[in-house]
Structure 1
Amino acid sequence: MHAARAAAPALPASRRRELAELRIIAQGLVDHGDGATPFATPAEVAAHLGCAQGQHLGGVRSALALRLHPDAAAGDGDGDARSRAVAAAFADGSLVRGYPMRGTLFATAADDLEWMTALTRERQLAGAAKRRAEHGLDDALLERIAEASRAALEAGGGALGRDALIAALAERGIVLEGGQRYHALYTLIVQGVLAYGQVSGGEALVVDAARHLPPGGSLESRFGGDEDAAIAAWLRRYLVGHGPATLRDFHWWTKLPLGRVRRVEPVATRGLEHYGEDALGEALQGPPGLRERRDLLDGGAGVGRLLPPFDEVVLGYPDRDLIVAAEHRTRIVPGGNGVFPPTAHRRGTVVGLWRTAGTGARRRLELEGFDALPAVAVREFERAFADYPHPV
């Protein structure tokens, strides 16, 4: 699949820019004409995207805050206020992190995690069976870990850091070493026993899913147990929140079977707009009116913007060649190690990397362009940095 996706640059440059900017609009990174994005709460942002890459805790908090309406934040709605609103959403339980699709953490609205994970649970657990066996994690031990974790969390006030939970398990006679720790927690989160909830001291705390997640979020409660209806709802969210995108993109993103995805297309895509085809000839679909909004913005969709590490603009699609020149591709995944740095975007293209230097009032932007950046671009990035929601 990845080799085929290398054909994406065959699209004309103007077409690549158009698609990239339409996606930026669909993802909620551009205002709706009144200087604000449409989402009133962080949970609404997460629900709009379906899921947001969450393995980098600071990155996902900034990613959600970037898409949040300024009025949703206490204070003047500046970047840090929006970041505090996201932290508060994790604290009040409306946002959580888990493994809804694969062995990568994603942030979701709390009432979505359970049913989404239910759609992928069997595949995920089967795929990790060999690793569990290698680490001696049989069903009996996992059940003991689950029971002990619930007891430890109840005794610990409902939430514990990962290391604190591991220590509490050891006190209860269950000593987990090395990779056992990750695989045990991953398995229990996929099984719906645990989740990652509020953040304390920069660390996401482990919570009891049954106590922390809101009622009514199961596959049975939301969709009457109808998996096709749930897949259709998820597909629609992806196309609305990431579009223009293809069914194959969604299949790649969720790892749900492509045949099942195609089966629910008529229901999922009703009322959506077609935006031509991608480089592989797959139909691109998304929310209606993206082109009109782009025209009304008169270049505003292409203004310089700073995105956090692991943002959905970069990781939400298999066709990253759409947004980065081939000669710079390895710059956004240095060493091919799966660590995606913060990126600077302009006119639909990743034009460089960036980082924050200093702290507090001395915070400043350090920008590394792939090529020389014009002065107007640097000014745009400086403005973006001034409003950037640094994680708090």
Structure 2
Amino acid sequence: MTVLTTRALGRATLARQFLLDRTGTPAVGVVAHLCGMQAQEPQEPFTGLWSRVRDFRPETLDGLLTGREVVRVPLMRRTIHLVTADDALAWRARHDAMLRQKVLSVYRAELAGVDPDELAAAAHAVMADGEPRTLAELVEAVSGRWPGPPRRALGELIVGGVLPTVQLPPRGLWGSRAGVRNATLSGWLGREVPPLPEDPTDPVGQTLVRRYLAAYGPAASADLRAWCGLAGLPAAVKAVRDELVVFRDERGRELLDLPDAPRPDPDTPAPVRFLPAFDNAILGYHDRSRIIDHDHRLLSVAGERVALVDGRVAATWTLRGSDLVVTPLRRLSRAERTAVKDEGAALAAFLTGGAGGAGGDAVTSPKPAGVILGS
């Protein structure tokens, strides 16, 4: 059985994540290919798309959000993801049990005695008028029936568990600091969430497996589970296994993949790329060693933005005023430093609306964007 080195796996990830070469695929197609983008920090997807899509402009994503082609919903791992409308509808029922369980596991004592189905029905009745509501407003509307539980716990069970909801614009628009207003997913999109098929081969799960491998493979079943948060995918994996090819990594783990998916030569040059906080190119795996050293594994979990050099996490970055401040995690060569400065200057211009950037009144800066690169 073919063994894929860590470097080979890293190059495969970069290719499938559009991080080896920016793509001309429209942004909505990129969001779909990536199976969504983690987006609990509302502005981060703009950087994630800029690093992947040629000539990406913020108004493109704004238009997709206001045009209801993409939505911000609790989904994989019970985190807010930016996904296409079609995927939100197709995948929500498959994630329902996981979403409920994750909330109940956090607030088990506080929510004792609350029937999740009764709460879902009550919340749906409140939202039936189509008016968007904040979490506080939604909880206030049902709290008379459940006066005991803490309001935060009750609210999280509603919007993060039992009721398919969407966070409405202007939340998530370029430069916006708007708070969260919720609507039902079906009400916002004008389409019902289809029920989960009663099929032991888990057809929705099969789609998730194929889509995940297209964007993240080759990968182990544990990686798939870490990405989506779903425990019950063995039937889906079994159902599609005959379609897949099998490899091993250097630790001996079995890796599954689509036969025709890109697996570039491990020596393929990898350009510097800047990733936003919580990017799934890192978080989408249980074993993240293909892209980040073990000592730095928790950086992305902590919300640090990182830069890839030669295909691996080699620095963290933040925007300070109009300057992009880059802190290396290892010594960079002269050529690497030059590449980091060049790519960083382009990103800084994009984020601040300067020359070469994409514009955006909410984040314009009076001085030219620059890069401060530590030693």
What band does the TM-score fall into relative to the shorter chain? 0.7 to 0.9
Structure 1 CA distance, aligned partners of 2:14 and 2:91? 24
User: Are 2:275 and 1:307 equivalent residues in the alignment?
Assistant: yes
Pairing of 1:1-392 with structure 2 (within 5 A): 15-31=5-21, 36-42=22-28, 44-68=29-53, 70=54, 77=55, 79=56, 81=57, 83-129=58-104, 131=107, 134-135=110-111, 138-139=114-115, 140-151=118-129, 153-154=130-131, 159-160=132-133, 162=134, 165-167=135-137, 170=140, 180-181=151-152, 183-200=154-171, 201-203=176-178, 204-213=180-189, 215=191, 218-219=194-195, 228-254=202-228, 255-266=230-241, 270=243, 274=246, 276-277=248-249, 279-286=251-258, 288=260, 290-292=262-264, 294=265, 299-300=268-269, 302-330=270-298, 332=299, 338-358=301-321, 363-388=322-347, 390=351
1:195 deviation in Å? 1.6
Match for residue 364 of structure 2?
none
CA deviation profile, 1:167-199 (whole Å, cap 9, x unmatched):
476478759899533542443453344222323
8 Å CA contact 1:304, 1:381 repeated in 2: yes
8 Å CA contact 1:304, 1:346 repeated in 2: yes
Q: What are the ranges of 5 or more consecutive residues in structure 1 without an aligned counterpart?
A: 1-11, 71-76
C-alpha distance 192-66 of structure 1, shift in aligned 2 (>3 A)? farther
Name the structure with the higher helix share: 1
Q: What are the ranges of 5 or more consecutive residues in structure 2 without an aligned counterpart?
A: 353-359, 361-375
SS class of match (1:339): coil
C-alpha distance 350-176 of structure 1, shift in aligned 2 (>3 A)? farther
Please give the root-mean-square deviation of Cα atoms over the aligned residues, in Å.
3.4
Output the TM-score relative to the length of structure 1: 0.74
C-alpha distance 217-390 of structure 1, shift in aligned 2 (>3 A)? farther
SS class of match (2:251): coil
C-alpha distance 135-274 of structure 1, shift in aligned 2 (>3 A)? closer
8 Å CA contact 1:21, 1:347 repeated in 2: no
CA deviation profile, 1:191-234 (whole Å, cap 9, x unmatched):
344222323433353222222135376256xx797762211111
Look up the equivalent residue of 1:60 and give its one-letter code: P
Identical amino acids, percent of aligned pairs: 21
SS class of match (2:78): coil
1:144 deviation in Å? 3.2
C-alpha distance 64-226 of structure 1, shift in aligned 2 (>3 A)? farther
SS class of match (1:19): helix
8 Å CA contact 1:90, 1:198 repeated in 2: yes
SS class of match (1:98): strand
C-alpha distance 38-190 of structure 1, shift in aligned 2 (>3 A)? farther
8 Å CA contact 2:127, 2:183 repeated in 1: no
Deviates more, 1:174-183 or 1:185-194: 174-183
SS class of match (1:322): coil
Output the TM-score relative to the length of structure 2: 0.77
C-alpha distance 178-314 of structure 1, shift in aligned 2 (>3 A)? farther
Kindly indicate whether structure 1 or structure 2 has the higher relative contact order, using CA contacts under 8 Å at least 6 residues apart.
1
SS class of match (1:215): coil
Deviates more, 1:191-200 or 1:308-317: 191-200
Structure 2 CA distance, aligned partners of 1:191 and 1:183? 10
Structure 2 CA distance, aligned partners of 1:40 and 1:202? 26
CA deviation profile, 1:274-299 (whole Å, cap 9, x unmatched):
5543524212424625235x58xx74
Structure 2 CA distance, aligned partners of 1:55 and 1:191? 19
Deviates more, 1:171-180 or 1:201-210: 171-180
C-alpha distance 383-179 of structure 1, shift in aligned 2 (>3 A)? farther
8 Å CA contact 1:53, 1:106 repeated in 2: yes
Structure 2 CA distance, aligned partners of 1:275 and 1:28? 22
C-alpha distance 96-238 of structure 1, shift in aligned 2 (>3 A)? same
Structure 2 CA distance, aligned partners of 1:378 and 1:357? 19
SS class of match (2:43): helix
